[in-house]
């Protein structure tokens, strides 16, 4: 019994590490590319009179990617801004009820957010919308947004079930 | 009109109940939007419209080129910090000021101001300076209130002293020359540093225990310490010089500044792969956190717009035949009030489109208005209950109570109000530089 | 009384809203004797690029936008965006509506909505801060802000360095000196406040490029109206709406030219040699489009020829 618990805790850690480094590693790469795109565009414009084709829309796509890759991380790590000025008003039980309610609200809100983004992605795919210059289909981005928001929802559900703080530590230390 | 007031009240309740800010704004926005569509416009598809609005707001905000300055300026700040440049900045300020009473807090304010010259965001400035300045202020037994107050307030200069994320966004929204806006922020920023220093001196005078004197440095040590700040100087020159020479746009400046910080850090041999990874991925995290708030704020503002409140407000002001001065007093009051509950970027996105046509029609210079808006927004960063800089500090020093920080901020808050009065009454403080240099 | 909502992404003071959408909405109410009322929503329900979907799904009943904002979705509209479409927006818009109904409507590109109107803005010209542009040689190395699509391909083919950004970035790019100039109809030069910078304007007879707009309505909503109201709306829409919009752009272009001249800027007109260079540069794009039209089952060559001919004819009236 104990051993199996430990094993499941271990595999849980592996999942958490995977979740975390896959997302933050991809986000880091996109972030770096975003910086590079501006540099190449500006240097190309001045040194060779040939700016990077589609730099503008690449920046836009990467901005969206960075935001939505970061979202499940910050959600899992409990990094959303909230105000805890009035917390001392409630006693122990009151606080526990308050916490429970807030977690349910969060799951509900993120669940809804995932659903509407998924519907939106299907729509973007149906219309076959692309960017203006490079004609990159926008649907993959829309699906990525829905999927990462879904991951954020999943993290919230796990926090609700297992209790939060030790599951995901905050930030890259 | 009533609908928008009910909306604001509901928002306050959710926020004070500790529902995350972005979620609270989004929930009130969605519900309000659906109900207004159904009730006011008789549209039976109110709810589906409202949910679609959420998706398209999130999608479009993700693809907003003008906001790409946010992650890139954050990255620039992270890289500068990781490579130790911010630490050296604080060391230099300390060498000159540390031996005075409250000297470490004075050095904190000055290095916050200097760091603001290479960092476009207030939150990044206060987070960075908290990591750098807090340990030594603790070592010298500074009171937590003074120490955190100086950092939270000093950090707010990040969006006033160029470069600035908020000024870029303001410039894009109002079609005002961003280069001129940047340079206009310089004098008000320096006034900010000076008044914060006065606030430190007064605090130490009233409570001598709060800020004991530190060690005195020799002139040799002082000169050596100055060598550590060349990197920051170079980045400032690249970013601002590039904008004024027309080499890149202020929006692109963020990407160039980040590249510059990356190259300097790499060639000074201080940047390991791990530090690079940390800079990049934490920039992504902070970006996600901020944009989640921005998306929530935009959903909420869609609802407020749908109630017609902004237009009624404008018509009311026009009807009353107020003078520009009166209008400014009213607007500042509104900003101070909103500043309690809103985060800076959301506040700018929410209010500027509503207010700027009004003051422009009354003949106000939009550069001056922009600086004024940024100064009030700075105040919101340290005003409870939602003071972003205070939250950031709490993240860095979790053992200090939120209420301690808010109390410590009071003298700086008063200095801010004084500065606000100066900038609202003397336009040339904002307009002198852009008019002579632009 | 039926209340139809309209989502508008331009500010209420913009001439397209003030002088086209609002008067058209009033004419709908008048034509239906008050049975149908168009309510302008106080703020847009989203980005310009989603406005077609908004109407298709019924989030707003009526919307307007531009085909070029959703690349990949429409292709036939490019017919009006090639060089030399015409000098008068009223004429090109009316010709656009007629040719659309005769040729392009077969492809049913607007099948998700009720199409109420199509129109173009005025002819696009070249504005820059560096030099007089009299030939493709003068375009070499000139950094021009352009939108996507034909503007971009054409300015690159003529030798300019094309900086692709939406029109909202124009002021930032031109005033900072990052861009030397832009391609714009005359109306947009003072509207984006760049006349002090772009002191050289080259007018291209018939326009270097143009831009295609639509006005659409939710299909179910339209079909749910009584037939007499449907007919009344159609009567004040279509070509009437196209002409209303085109007339507005013509008026604004005239004002734009006045502002440019009042600023003392140089204004010259492209000569036949430069026109030929433009024609040659645009030829591959036209060929590409003809293929797309064929794939959609439309006689592109006949449509394009008739559009240009008709637009010239109508401009004489
Ligand atoms: Na700054
Ligand atoms: Na606040």
CB contact under 8 A, B55 and A116: yes
Chain C closest-CA separation from residue B246 CA (Å):
5
Ligand 2 mean position to B384 CA, how many Å? Answer: 5
How many Cα atoms are found within 13 Å in the side-chain-facing hemisphere of C192?
25
Paired tokens of C98: 């007629």
- Identify the pLDDT of residue B127: 84
The residue length of chain B stands at 438
Q: Which residues of chain B does C178 touch, with a Cβ-Cβ cutoff of 8 Å?
A: 246-249, 252
B30 and B88 share a domain? no
B430: enclosing H helix or E strand: helix B428-437
DSSP conformational letter for C21 = I
Cβ atoms B91, B228 nearer than 8 A: yes
Using the structure block, give the residue that is written with the tokens 């979202």.
Answer: A71
Ligand 2 mean position, distance from CA B341 (Å): 5
Residue stretches of chain B with pLDDT short of 50? none
Residue in B54, B245, B251, B298 to test binding to C, most C beta-carbons within 10 Å: B251
Distances (CA, A) of A142 to A31, C71, C143: 18, 16, 33
Q: Are A120 and A143 in contact (CB under 8 A)?
A: no
Contact A28 B284 (CB under 8 A): yes
Does one domain contain both B398 and B310? Answer: yes
Question: For residue C37, what pLDDT is reported?
Answer: 92
pTM of the model: 0.86
C163–A contact, CB cutoff 8 A: yes
Provide the H-helix boundaries in chain A: 2-47, 55-76, 92-127, 139-162
Is beta strand C161-164 parallel, antiparallel or unpaired with respect to C200-203? unpaired
Q: Which tokens belong to A64?
A: 């969206």
Q: Does B49 reach chain C within 8 Å, measured CB to CB? A: yes
In chain C, which residues have their Cβ closer than 8 Å to the Cβ of A50?
Answer: 161
- The span from the CA of B21 to the CA of A74, in Å, is 14
Q: Which domain holds residue B11?
A: 1-63
Q: How many domains does chain B have?
A: 2
B115 and B56 in one domain?
Answer: no
Select the more confidently predicted residue: B99 or C100.
Answer: C100
Cβ atoms of B311 and B350 closer than 8 Å: no
Q: Supply A75's token pair.
A: 């959600």
> At C135, phi and psi to the nearest 5?
-160, 175
B238 lies in the same domain as B203: yes
Tell me, what's the pLDDT at C291?
96
Q: Where are the beta strands (DSSP E) in B76-117?
A: none
Q: Which of B42, B60, B306 sits opposite C43 (nearest CB)?
A: B306
**H-helix segments, B245-365:** 250-267, 273-306, 309-320, 324-341, 344-361
* Contact predicate B159/B378, CB 8 Å: yes
pLDDT for A7: 45
Percentage of residues in chain C having pLDDT higher than 70? 100
On whether both B39 and B87 belong to a single domain, the answer is no
Whether residue B327 is found in the same domain as residue B399: yes
Ligand nearest to the CA of B390: 2
Q: Is B274 found in the same domain as B134?
A: yes
B46 and B120 together in one domain: no
The pair of structure tokens assigned to A76 is 């899992």
Judge whether B437 is closer than 8 Å to chain C, CB to CB. no
Could you say which of B63, B92, B115 is where a domain stops? B63
- Listed residue (B296, B412, B287, B403) closest to B346, CA to CA: B296
What is the reported pLDDT for A154? 93
Backbone angles phi, psi at C52, to 5 degrees: -65, -45
pLDDT of residue A6: 46
**E-assigned strand segments in C47-89:** 62-66
- Alpha-carbon span B119 to B109, nearest angstrom: 15
Give the number of whichever ligand sits closest to the CA of residue B21.
2
Q: Sign of torsion, CA C147 C149 C155 C159?
A: positive
pLDDT score of B339: 82
Which residues between 96 and 125 in chain B have a beta carbon less than 8 angstroms from any beta carbon of chain C? none
B155 & B275 share domain: yes
**Domain end call among B48, B63, B78:** B63
Angle formed by the axes of helices A139-162 and A92-127, to 10°?
160
Nearest to A144 by CA among A127, A168, A124: A124
What average pLDDT does this structure show over C221-243?
Answer: 95
Which portions of chain A are predicted below pLDDT 70?
Answer: 1-12, 85-90, 164-173
User: What number of C-beta contacts closer than 8 Å exist between B and C?
Assistant: 71
Distance from CA of A67 to the nearest CA of C (A): 19
- Give the ligand with the smallest distance to the CA of B391: 2
How far apart, in whole angstroms, are the C-alpha atoms of residue C239 and residue C218? 19
Read off the pLDDT of residues A107-122 as tens digits, 9 standing for 90 and up. 999 999 999 999 999 9
The backbone torsions φ and ψ at residue C152, rounded to the nearest 5 degrees and listed phi first, read -65, -50
CB contact under 8 A, B308 and C42: yes
CB contact under 8 A, C152 and A129: no
- pLDDT higher than 70, residue C46: yes
Least confident of B296-310, C184-198, C232-246: B296-310
Residue B101 class from Cβ within 10 Å (0-12 exposed, 13-18 middle, 19+ buried)? Answer: middle
Does the ipTM exceed 0.90? no
| DSSP code, position A48 | S
Residues of B with CB below 8 A from A38's CB? 72, 248, 252, 254-256, 259
Q: Do both B81 and B70 map to the same domain?
A: yes
Q: Do C164 and A45 touch (CB under 8 A)?
A: no
Strands of C113-120's sheet, edge to edge?
A: C36-40, C2-7, C62-66, C212-218, C113-120
Q: How far apart are CA B29 and CA B7, in angstroms?
A: 8
Which of B45, B63, B81 is at the close of a domain?
A: B63
Is the same domain home to B187 and B39?
no
- Report yes or no: C148 at the A interface, CB cutoff 8 Å: yes
Same domain, yes or no: B38 and B154: no
| B45 with C43: Cβ contact below 8 A | no
Lookup: tokens for B267: 């060639």
**Residue with token string 């030219």:** C257
B226 Cα to chain C: minimum distance (Å): 33
């Amino acid at each position: 019994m104990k051993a199996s618990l430990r094993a499941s805790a271990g595999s849980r850690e592996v999942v958490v590490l995977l979740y975390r480094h896959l997302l933050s590693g991809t986000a880091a790469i996109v972030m770096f590319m975003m910086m590079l795109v501006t540099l190449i565009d500006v240097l190309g414009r001045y040194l060779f009179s040939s700016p990077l084709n589609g730099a503008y829309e690449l920046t836009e796509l990467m901005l969206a990617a960075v935001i939505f890759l970061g979202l499940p991380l910050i959600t899992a790590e409990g990094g959303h801004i909230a105000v805890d000025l009035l917390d001392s008003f409630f006693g122990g039980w009151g606080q526990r009820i308050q916490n429970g309610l807030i977690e349910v609200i969060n799951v509900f809100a993120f669940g809804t957010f995932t659903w509407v983004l998924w519907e939106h992605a299907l729509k973007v795919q149906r219309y076959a919308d692309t960017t203006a210059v490079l004609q990159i289909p926008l649907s993959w981005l829309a699906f990525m947004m829905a999927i990462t928001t879904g991951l954020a929802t999943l993290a919230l559900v796990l926090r609700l079930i297992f209790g939060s703080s030790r599951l995901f530590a905050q930030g890259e230390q | 009109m009533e609908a928008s007031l009910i909306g604001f009240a509901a928002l306050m309740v959710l926020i004070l109940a500790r529902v995350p800010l972005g979620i609270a704004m989004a929930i009130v926005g969605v519900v309000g939007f659906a109900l207004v569509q159904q009730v006011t416009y008789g549209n039976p598809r109110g709810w589906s419209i409202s949910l679609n609005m959420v998706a398209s707001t999130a999608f479009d905000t993700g693809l907003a080129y003008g906001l790409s300055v946010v992650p890139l300026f954050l990255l620039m700040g992270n890289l500068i910090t990781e490579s130790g440049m911010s630490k050296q900045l604080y060391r230099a300020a300390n060498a000159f000021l540390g031996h005075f009473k409250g000297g470490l807090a004075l050095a904190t304010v000055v290095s916050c101001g200097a760091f603001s010259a290479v960092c476009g965001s207030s939150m990044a400035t206060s987070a960075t300076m908290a990591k750098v300045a807090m340990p030594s202020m603790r070592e010298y037994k500074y009171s937590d209130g003074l120490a955190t107050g100086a950092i939270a307030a000093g950090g707010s200069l990040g969006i006033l002293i160029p470069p600035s994320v908020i000024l870029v966004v303001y410039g894009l929204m109002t079609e005002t020359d961003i280069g001129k806006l940047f340079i206009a922020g310089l004098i008000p920023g320096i006034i900010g540093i000076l008044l914060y220093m006065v606030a430190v001196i007064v605090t130490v005078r009233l409570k001598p225990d709060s800020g004991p004197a530190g060690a005195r440095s020799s002139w040799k040590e002082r000169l050596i310490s100055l060598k550590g700040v060349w990197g920051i100087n170079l980045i400032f020159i690249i970013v601002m010089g590039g904008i004024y020479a027309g080499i890149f746009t202020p929006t692109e400046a963020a990407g160039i500044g980040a590249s510059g910080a990356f190259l300097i850090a790499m060639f000074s041999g201080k940047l390991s792969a791990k530090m690079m990874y940390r800079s990049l991925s934490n920039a992504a995290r902070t970006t996600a956190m901020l944009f989640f708030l921005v998306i929530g704020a935009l959903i909420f503002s869609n609802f407020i717009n749908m109630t017609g409140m902004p237009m009624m407000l404008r018509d009311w002001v026009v009807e009353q035949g107020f003078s520009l001065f009166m209008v400014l007093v009213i607007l500042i009051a509104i900003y101070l009030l909103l500043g309690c509950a809103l985060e800076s970027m959301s506040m700018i996105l929410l209010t500027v489109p509503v207010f700027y046509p009004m003051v422009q029609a009354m003949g106000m210079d939009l550069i001056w208005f922009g600086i004024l808006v940024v100064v009030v927004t700075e105040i919101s960063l340290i005003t409870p209950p939602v003071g972003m800089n205070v939250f950031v500090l709490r993240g860095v020093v979790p053992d200090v109570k939120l209420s301690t920080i808010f109390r410590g901020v009071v003298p700086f808050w008063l200095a801010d109000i004084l500065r606000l009065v100066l900038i609202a009454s003397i336009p040339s403080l904002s307009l002198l530089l852009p008019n002579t240099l632009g | 009384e039926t209340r139809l909502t309209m989502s508008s992404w331009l500010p209420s003071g913009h001439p397209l809203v003030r002088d086209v959408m609002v008067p058209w909405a009033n004419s709908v109410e008048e034509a239906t004797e008050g049975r149908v009322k168009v309510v302008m929503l106080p703020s847009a329900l989203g980005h310009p690029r989603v406005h077609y979907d908004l109407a298709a799904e019924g989030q707003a009943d009526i919307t307007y936008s531009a085909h070029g904002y959703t690349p990949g979705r429409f292709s036939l509209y490019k017919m009006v965006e090639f060089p030399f479409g015409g000098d008068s927006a009223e004429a090109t818009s009316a010709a656009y509506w007629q040719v659309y109904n005769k040729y392009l409507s077969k492809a049913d590109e607007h099948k998700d909505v009720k199409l109420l109107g199509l129109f173009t803005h005025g002819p696009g010209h070249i504005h820059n801060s560096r030099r007089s542009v009299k030939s493709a040689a003068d375009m070499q190395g000139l950094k021009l802000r352009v939108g996507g699509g034909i503007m971009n391909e054409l300015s690159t083919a003529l030798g300019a360095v094309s900086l692709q950004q939406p029109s909202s970035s124009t002021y930032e790019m031109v005033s900072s000196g990052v861009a030397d100039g832009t391609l714009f109809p005359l109306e947009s030069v003072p509207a984006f406040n760049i006349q002090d910078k772009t002191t050289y304007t080259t007018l291209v007879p018939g326009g270097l490029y143009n831009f295609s707009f639509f006005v659409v309505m939710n299909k179910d909503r339209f079909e749910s109206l009584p037939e007499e109201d449907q007919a009344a709306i159609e009567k004040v829409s279509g070509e009437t709406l196209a002409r209303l919009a085109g007339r507005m752009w013509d008026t604004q272009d005239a004002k734009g030219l006045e502002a440019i001249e009042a600023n003392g800027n140089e204004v010259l007109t492209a000569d036949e040699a430069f026109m030929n260079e433009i024609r040659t540069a645009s030829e591959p794009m036209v060929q590409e489009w003809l293929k797309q039209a064929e794939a959609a089952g439309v006689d592109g060559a006949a449509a394009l020829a008739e559009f240009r001919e008709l637009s010239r004819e109508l401009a004489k009236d």
